[in-house]
Structure 1
Protein backbone atom coordinates (compact mmCIF):
# COMPACT_ATOMS: atom_id res chain seq x y z
CA UNK A 1 0.00 0.00 0.00
CA UNK A 2 2.91 2.37 0.54
CA UNK A 3 3.62 2.59 -3.18
CA UNK A 4 0.13 3.77 -4.20
CA UNK A 5 0.52 7.43 -3.20
CA UNK A 6 3.89 7.95 -4.92
CA UNK A 7 2.54 6.20 -8.00
CA UNK A 8 -0.50 8.47 -8.12
CA UNK A 9 1.66 11.56 -7.66
CA UNK A 10 3.97 10.52 -10.51
CA UNK A 11 1.02 9.74 -12.77
CA UNK A 12 -0.36 13.23 -12.22
CA UNK A 13 2.90 14.90 -13.26
CA UNK A 14 3.09 15.90 -16.88
CA UNK A 15 1.37 14.58 -19.97
CA UNK A 16 1.27 10.84 -20.52
CA UNK A 17 0.13 9.40 -23.85
CA UNK A 18 -2.60 6.83 -24.26
CA UNK A 19 -1.20 3.29 -24.41
CA UNK A 20 -1.75 3.26 -28.19
CA UNK A 21 0.76 6.12 -28.48
CA UNK A 22 3.54 4.59 -26.37
CA UNK A 23 6.78 4.78 -28.32
CA UNK A 24 5.53 7.67 -30.45
CA UNK A 25 7.50 10.84 -31.12
CA UNK A 26 6.84 13.60 -28.58
CA UNK A 27 6.66 17.28 -29.47
CA UNK A 28 6.19 20.05 -26.90
CA UNK A 29 5.05 23.57 -27.79
CA UNK A 30 3.51 26.70 -26.36
CA UNK A 31 0.86 28.65 -28.28
CA UNK A 32 -0.79 31.81 -26.93
CA UNK A 33 0.69 31.12 -23.49
CA UNK A 34 -0.79 27.61 -23.30
CA UNK A 35 1.36 24.44 -23.29
CA UNK A 36 0.59 21.43 -25.48
CA UNK A 37 2.17 18.02 -25.97
CA UNK A 38 1.74 16.18 -29.27
CA UNK A 39 2.46 12.48 -29.64
CA UNK A 40 2.70 11.00 -33.14
CA UNK A 41 2.93 7.33 -33.89
CA UNK A 42 2.50 6.01 -37.43
CA UNK A 43 -0.68 7.62 -38.80
CA UNK A 44 -2.14 8.73 -35.43
CA UNK A 45 -1.65 11.73 -33.20
CA UNK A 46 -2.66 12.65 -29.68
CA UNK A 47 -2.63 16.28 -28.51
CA UNK A 48 -2.76 17.03 -24.79
CA UNK A 49 -3.37 20.50 -23.37
CA UNK A 50 -1.59 21.23 -20.11
CA UNK A 51 -3.15 23.49 -17.50
CA UNK A 52 -6.63 24.80 -16.78
CA UNK A 53 -8.92 26.37 -19.37
CA UNK A 54 -12.10 28.32 -18.84
CA UNK A 55 -15.36 27.18 -20.40
CA UNK A 56 -15.35 29.94 -23.05
CA UNK A 57 -11.89 28.89 -24.30
CA UNK A 58 -12.60 25.28 -25.28
CA UNK A 59 -13.59 25.78 -28.95
CA UNK A 60 -10.57 28.02 -29.63
CA UNK A 61 -8.25 25.58 -27.86
CA UNK A 62 -9.52 22.61 -29.87
CA UNK A 63 -8.95 24.56 -33.11
CA UNK A 64 -5.43 25.37 -31.91
CA UNK A 65 -4.81 21.70 -31.11
CA UNK A 66 -5.79 20.71 -34.66
CA UNK A 67 -3.65 23.53 -36.08
CA UNK A 68 -0.43 22.61 -34.30
CA UNK A 69 -0.38 19.04 -35.64
CA UNK A 70 0.80 19.94 -39.18
CA UNK A 71 3.20 22.53 -37.79
CA UNK A 72 4.92 20.02 -35.48
CA UNK A 73 4.58 16.77 -37.45
CA UNK A 74 4.29 17.78 -41.11
CA UNK A 75 1.09 15.69 -41.33
CA UNK A 76 -2.50 16.85 -41.89
CA UNK A 77 -5.30 15.92 -39.51
CA UNK A 78 -8.13 13.92 -41.09
CA UNK A 79 -11.12 15.96 -39.81
CA UNK A 80 -13.59 13.06 -39.66
CA UNK A 81 -11.25 11.14 -37.34
CA UNK A 82 -10.96 13.78 -34.58
CA UNK A 83 -12.04 12.49 -31.16
CA UNK A 84 -11.82 14.01 -27.72
CA UNK A 85 -12.07 17.50 -26.33
CA UNK A 86 -9.90 20.50 -25.51
CA UNK A 87 -8.04 18.51 -22.86
CA UNK A 88 -6.96 15.55 -24.97
CA UNK A 89 -7.65 15.01 -28.65
CA UNK A 90 -6.83 12.03 -30.86
CA UNK A 91 -6.97 11.81 -34.65
CA UNK A 92 -5.63 10.05 -37.71
CA UNK A 93 -3.25 11.99 -39.93
CA UNK A 94 -2.24 11.93 -43.55
CA UNK A 95 1.49 12.32 -43.99
CA UNK A 96 3.65 12.87 -47.06
CA UNK A 97 5.87 9.93 -47.93
CA UNK A 98 8.88 9.80 -45.67
CA UNK A 99 7.10 11.15 -42.57
CA UNK A 100 5.27 7.98 -41.63
Structure 2
Protein backbone atom coordinates (compact mmCIF):
# COMPACT_ATOMS: atom_id res chain seq x y z
CA UNK A 1 0.00 0.00 0.00
CA UNK A 2 2.73 2.50 0.88
CA UNK A 3 4.18 2.08 -2.62
CA UNK A 4 0.90 3.26 -4.13
CA UNK A 5 0.81 6.49 -2.13
CA UNK A 6 3.08 8.54 -4.47
CA UNK A 7 0.92 7.57 -7.43
CA UNK A 8 -2.27 8.49 -5.61
CA UNK A 9 -0.86 11.86 -4.62
CA UNK A 10 0.38 12.55 -8.14
CA UNK A 11 -3.11 11.99 -9.49
CA UNK A 12 -4.40 14.78 -7.28
CA UNK A 13 -2.58 17.43 -9.31
CA UNK A 14 -3.37 16.29 -12.82
CA UNK A 15 -5.45 18.40 -15.14
CA UNK A 16 -8.52 17.23 -17.03
CA UNK A 17 -7.62 15.10 -20.07
CA UNK A 18 -8.32 17.97 -22.51
CA UNK A 19 -5.72 20.13 -20.75
CA UNK A 20 -2.92 17.62 -20.18
CA UNK A 21 -0.89 18.95 -23.12
CA UNK A 22 -1.40 22.58 -22.08
CA UNK A 23 1.19 24.84 -20.52
CA UNK A 24 1.43 24.56 -16.72
CA UNK A 25 2.38 27.34 -14.33
CA UNK A 26 2.37 27.66 -10.54
CA UNK A 27 1.06 31.00 -9.24
CA UNK A 28 0.82 32.29 -5.65
CA UNK A 29 -2.08 34.63 -4.82
CA UNK A 30 -3.22 35.75 -1.39
CA UNK A 31 -1.33 33.03 0.48
CA UNK A 32 -2.67 30.27 -1.77
CA UNK A 33 -0.69 28.48 -4.49
CA UNK A 34 -2.39 27.32 -7.69
CA UNK A 35 -1.18 25.07 -10.48
CA UNK A 36 -2.78 26.50 -13.64
CA UNK A 37 -3.20 24.57 -16.92
CA UNK A 38 -4.13 26.23 -20.18
CA UNK A 39 -5.49 27.84 -22.06
CA UNK A 40 -6.65 25.09 -24.40
CA UNK A 41 -7.45 25.93 -28.03
CA UNK A 42 -11.08 26.34 -26.88
CA UNK A 43 -10.03 28.80 -24.16
CA UNK A 44 -10.44 26.42 -21.22
CA UNK A 45 -8.32 26.91 -18.10
CA UNK A 46 -8.09 24.79 -14.97
CA UNK A 47 -6.47 25.61 -11.63
CA UNK A 48 -5.78 23.35 -8.66
CA UNK A 49 -4.95 24.79 -5.24
CA UNK A 50 -1.80 22.89 -4.30
CA UNK A 51 -0.83 24.28 -0.90
CA UNK A 52 -2.06 22.81 2.35
CA UNK A 53 -3.96 24.91 4.86
CA UNK A 54 -7.01 24.85 7.06
CA UNK A 55 -10.15 24.65 4.91
CA UNK A 56 -10.17 28.02 3.13
CA UNK A 57 -13.25 29.99 2.21
CA UNK A 58 -14.74 28.93 -1.14
CA UNK A 59 -15.35 32.57 -2.12
CA UNK A 60 -11.78 33.56 -1.25
CA UNK A 61 -10.38 30.56 -3.13
CA UNK A 62 -12.42 31.36 -6.26
CA UNK A 63 -11.33 35.00 -6.12
CA UNK A 64 -7.67 33.97 -5.82
CA UNK A 65 -8.07 31.34 -8.57
CA UNK A 66 -9.49 34.02 -10.88
CA UNK A 67 -6.39 36.14 -10.30
CA UNK A 68 -4.06 33.12 -10.70
CA UNK A 69 -5.67 32.21 -14.04
CA UNK A 70 -5.32 35.79 -15.26
CA UNK A 71 -1.65 35.99 -14.24
CA UNK A 72 -0.73 32.55 -15.57
CA UNK A 73 -2.35 32.94 -18.99
CA UNK A 74 -2.23 36.69 -19.59
CA UNK A 75 -5.88 36.36 -20.65
CA UNK A 76 -9.19 37.63 -19.27
CA UNK A 77 -11.52 35.19 -17.51
CA UNK A 78 -14.87 35.22 -19.31
CA UNK A 79 -17.57 36.53 -16.94
CA UNK A 80 -19.85 33.81 -15.58
CA UNK A 81 -17.55 30.90 -16.45
CA UNK A 82 -15.53 30.53 -13.23
CA UNK A 83 -16.68 27.56 -11.18
CA UNK A 84 -15.21 25.17 -8.65
CA UNK A 85 -14.54 24.58 -5.00
CA UNK A 86 -11.60 24.92 -2.60
CA UNK A 87 -9.51 22.41 -4.56
CA UNK A 88 -10.24 22.64 -8.32
CA UNK A 89 -11.43 25.61 -10.34
CA UNK A 90 -12.33 25.87 -14.05
CA UNK A 91 -13.09 28.79 -16.36
CA UNK A 92 -12.98 29.99 -19.94
CA UNK A 93 -10.67 32.82 -20.96
CA UNK A 94 -10.40 35.29 -23.81
CA UNK A 95 -6.91 36.07 -25.04
Range class of TM-score, shorter chain: 0.7 to 0.9
Structure 1 position 32, deviation (Å)? 2.9
Structure 1 position 8, deviation (Å)? 5.1
TM-score normalised by the chain length of structure 2: 0.79
Structure 1 position 86, deviation (Å)? 2.3
* 1:36 corresponds to which of 29, 34, 37: 34
Give the gaps of 5 or more residues in structure 2: none
Give the number of the structure whose alpha-carbon radius of gyration is greater.
Answer: 1
Output the CA distance in 2 between the equivalents of 1:66 and 1:53.
Answer: 20
Q: What aligned pairs does 1:8-87 form with structure 2 within 5 A after superposition?
A: 9-13=6-10, 15-40=13-38, 41-42=40-41, 43-50=43-50, 51-55=52-56, 57-87=57-87
Post-superposition Cα deviations, 1:49-75, rounded to whole Å, max 9, x if no partner, equal: 0124425x2211110101121212111
Structure 1 position 5, deviation (Å)? 6.2
Three-state SS of the structure 1 residue aligned to 2:65 is helix
Structure with greater proportional helix content: 1
Give the gaps of 5 or more residues in structure 1: 96-100
Three-state SS of the structure 2 residue aligned to 1:81 is coil
Output the CA distance in 1 between the equivalents of 2:54 and 2:19.
Answer: 24
Equivalent pair of 2:28/2:68 in contact (CA under 8 Å):
no
Moved more, 38-47 or 24-33: 24-33
